[in-house]
């Protein structure tokens, strides 16, 4: 049995090796379609920002009498106006002259300061300064935010909603992004039935395929659901062969243990290579990953999940999801979000393996008004309890050698990516 950390390292190495065999392709898409995609090249600024010196406030752009000190309480002569989209076009200002200016409007080159409108008193064309204003105040200088040829986004960066205003302000209509990953997935188990089927004695409804699709649908992947495959070497081999041709990653649910009817692992091994059967994590010890040789179609990565619903979910989100994001961005492994929280009740368990207990994370405010994260473990942690999984919004990460944690202790939690803290 290997540690969870060692499994992570082995998995990362497997993915790096696989990526080295893949062509470095990109896809050109519209900016409006780019959310959730990863850039395939650096983006360089096409425009300085601001493009000109512009006013940060409504007021008056002045040519001060003394360019070595503040604008003092003097009277200035009004010569014109500058609005956003309609710059001042009159003669250059002379000392003691000014123009009316509005937020976002171009500041004339002959002006050195913008005095806010609250600090002036105007009578016709005479503008009286009511208090001193620092030389150069209230002007956003050309290129102060983004200089010429600045890198504004980097290869492998995720396109998020808060990036869109920046990219749109640069006039970017299309982007080069990493292509979607093709992910084929299937389940094994003769007891598994589809929703709507009549259950016989010992049958259960299959849930892992829906779980895999639900988790991965948040990412730029093309999902290929191959359904439930008959528990025979022939059927599983045929499914793996088709999946290896059609997909970049093949995910199986079930069949990776050592039972008499657990054929997936041995079928993958006969078609490529598989490793790390036992990982010291709970839930999820029967874990294996490797690759399937698709012949001329190249190799497909293989990620094996336990058949148990909770174990499958935890292994997918804690072990495989970070490297799936690495395969998407090709630059870095992106782990699940880790937060420190205070445990609300004593926690006891049997040590020996790194454990991910399902929990509920909440945000509270203490007497001083400070925000405090608290987490509570959900009742029984048996790996078949899907009701507890549904109520959880995180997992509590417990080191292998820890058997007791007292209430009030700080623990690390992995937050589900879709969690909204209350």
Q: Supply the CATH number for residue 314's domain.
A: 3.40.980.10
End-to-end Cα spacing for the chain: 39
This prediction has a pTM of: 0.85
Neighbours of 372 (CB within 10 A): 12
**Phi, then psi, of 50 in degrees rounded to 5:** -65, 160
**Quick check: is 154 in a domain?**
no
The chain-wide mean pLDDT, for the chain, equals: 91
Q: Is the pLDDT of residue 255 over 90?
A: no
Residue 324 lies in a domain: yes
Better-predicted residue by pLDDT, 368 or 402: 402
The answer to whether the beta carbons of residues 177 and 38 sit under 8 Å apart is yes
Residues 265 and 283 in one domain: yes
pLDDT in the model for residue 261: 53
Clarify whether residues 253 and 364 are in a common domain: no
Supply the pLDDT for residue 380.
Answer: 77
Q: 133 and 237 in one domain?
A: no
* Residue 288: how many other CB atoms lie within 10 Å: 24
Q: Is the peptide bond before 283 cis (omega within 30 degrees of 0)?
A: yes
Q: CATH number of the domain at 115, please.
A: 2.170.190.11
CA angle 244/247/250 to nearest 5° reads 65
Which is more confidently placed, 198 or 166? 166
Do residues 341 and 379 share a domain?
yes
* In a shared domain, residues 184 and 274: yes
pLDDT digits (tens, 9 = 90+) for 18-36: 999 998 889 999 999 999 9
Give domain status of residue 42, yes or no. Answer: no
Q: Do 252 and 194 share a structural domain? A: yes
Longest distance between any two alpha carbons in the chain, whole Å = 96
Greater model confidence, 148 or 262:
148
**For residue 206, what pLDDT is reported?**
87
| Pair (189, 315) in one structural domain | yes
User: Is-contact 247 221, C-beta < 8 A?
Assistant: no
Residue 144 pLDDT more than 60?
Answer: yes
Give the pLDDT of residue 175: 95
The pLDDT of residue 383:
62
305: in domain: yes
Q: Give the position of tokens 């300061």.
A: 113
Using alpha carbons only, how large is the chain's radius of gyration in Å?
31
Note down the domain range covering 311. Answer: 2-25+180-329
Query: Could you tell me which residues come within 8 angstroms of residue 97 by beta carbon, excluding any fewer than 6 positions away?
Result: 62, 63, 76, 77, 78, 79
> Per-residue pLDDT tens for 37-64?
999 999 999 999 999 999 999 999 999 8
> Residue 235 CA to chain centroid, in angstroms?
37
Distance CA 55, CA 141 (A): 9
Q: How does pLDDT run across 210-231, given as a tens digit for each residue?
A: 999 999 999 999 999 999 999 8
- Domains held by the chain: number: 3
Evaluate whether residue 101 is within a structural domain. Answer: yes
Instruction: Return the number of other C-beta atoms located less than 10 Å from residue 344's C-beta.
Output: 16
pLDDT at 285: 77
CATH of the domain at 362: 2.40.340.10
- Kindly state whether residues 269 and 200 are assigned to the same domain: yes
Please give the torsion angle defined by the CA atoms of residues 345, 348, 353 and 356, in that order, rounded to the nearest 10 degrees.
-30
- Predicted local distance difference test score (pLDDT) of residue 287: 87
49 occurs within a structural domain: no
> How many Cβ atoms from other residues are within 10 Å of residue 28's Cβ?
9
Enumerate residues 6+ apart whose C-beta is below 8 A from 67: 112, 135
Residues 324 and 345 in one domain: no
Mean pLDDT of 400-414: 95
The confidence score (pLDDT) of residue 304 equals 93
The answer to whether residue 38 sits within a structural domain is no
Picking from 268, 297, 329, the residue at the C-terminal end of a domain is 329
- pLDDT at res. 297: 65
Kindly report the CA angle at 155 between 151 and 160, in degrees rounded to 5? Answer: 85
Whether residue 188 is found in the same domain as residue 126: no
Verify that 320 and 226 share a domain, yes or no: yes
CA distances from 401 to 189, 293, 352 (A): 34, 39, 6
**Is the pLDDT confidence value at 359 over 90?**
yes
Highest mean pLDDT among 257-271, 356-370, 392-406: 392-406
203 and 97 within one domain: no
147 part of a folded domain: no
108-131 pLDDT, tens per residue? 999 999 999 999 999 999 999 998
Find, among 101, 99, 105, the residue nearest to 50 by Cα: 105
Residue 422 pLDDT exceeds 80: no
Q: Final residue of a domain: which of 303, 329, 355?
A: 329
């Amino acid at each position: 049995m290997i540690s969870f950390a060692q499994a992570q390292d082995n998995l990362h190495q497997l993915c790096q090796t696989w990526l080295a065999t893949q062509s470095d392709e990109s896809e050109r898409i519209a900016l409006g379609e780019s959310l959730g995609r990863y850039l395939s090249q650096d983006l360089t600024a096409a425009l300085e920002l601001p493009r000109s010196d512009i006013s940060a406030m409504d007021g008056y752009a002045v040519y001060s009498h003394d360019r070595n000190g503040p604008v003092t309480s003097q009277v200035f002569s009004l010569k014109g106006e500058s609005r956003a989209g309609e710059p001042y076009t009159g003669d250059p200002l002379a000392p003691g002259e000014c123009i009316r200016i509005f937020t976002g409007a171009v500041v004339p080159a002959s002006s050195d300061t913008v005095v806010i409108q609250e600090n002036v008193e105007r009578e016709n064309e005479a503008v009286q300064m009511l208090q001193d204003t620092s030389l150069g105040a209230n002007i956003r200088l050309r290129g102060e935010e983004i200089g010429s040829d600045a890198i504004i986004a980097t290869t492998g960066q995720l396109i998020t909603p808060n990036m869109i205003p920046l990219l749109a302000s640069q006039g970017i209509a299309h982007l080069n992004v990493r292509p979607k990953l093709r992910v084929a997935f299937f389940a094994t188990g003769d007891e598994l039935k589809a929703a709507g089927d009549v259950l016989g004695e010992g049958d259960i409804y299959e849930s892992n395929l829906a779980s895999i699709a639900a988790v991965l649908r948040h990412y730029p992947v093309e999902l290929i659901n191959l359904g439930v495959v008959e528990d025979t070497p022939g059927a599983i081999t045929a499914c793996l062969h088709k999946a290896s041709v059609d997909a970049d990653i093949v995910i199986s649910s079930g069949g990776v243990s050592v039972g008499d009817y657990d054929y997936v692992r041995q079928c993958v091994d006969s078609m490529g290579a598989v490793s790390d059967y036992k990982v010291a994590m709970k839930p999820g010890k029967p874990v294996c990953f490797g690759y399937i040789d698709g012949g001329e179609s190249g190799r497909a990565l293989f990620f094996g999940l336990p058949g148990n619903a909770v174990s499958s979910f935890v292994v997918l989100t804690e072990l495989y999801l970070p490297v799936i994001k690495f395969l998407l961005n090709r630059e870095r492994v992106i782990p699940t979000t880790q937060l420190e929280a205070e445990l609300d009740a004593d926690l006891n368990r049997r040590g020996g393996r790194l454990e991910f207990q399902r929990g509920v994370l909440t945000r509270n405010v203490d007497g001083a008004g400070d925000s405090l994260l608290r987490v509570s473990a959900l009742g029984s942690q048996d790996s078949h309890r899907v009701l507890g999984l549904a109520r959880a919004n995180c997992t509590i990460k417990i080191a292998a050698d820890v058997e007791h944690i007292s209430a009030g202790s700080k623990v690390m939690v992995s937050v589900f990516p879709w969690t909204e803290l209350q």
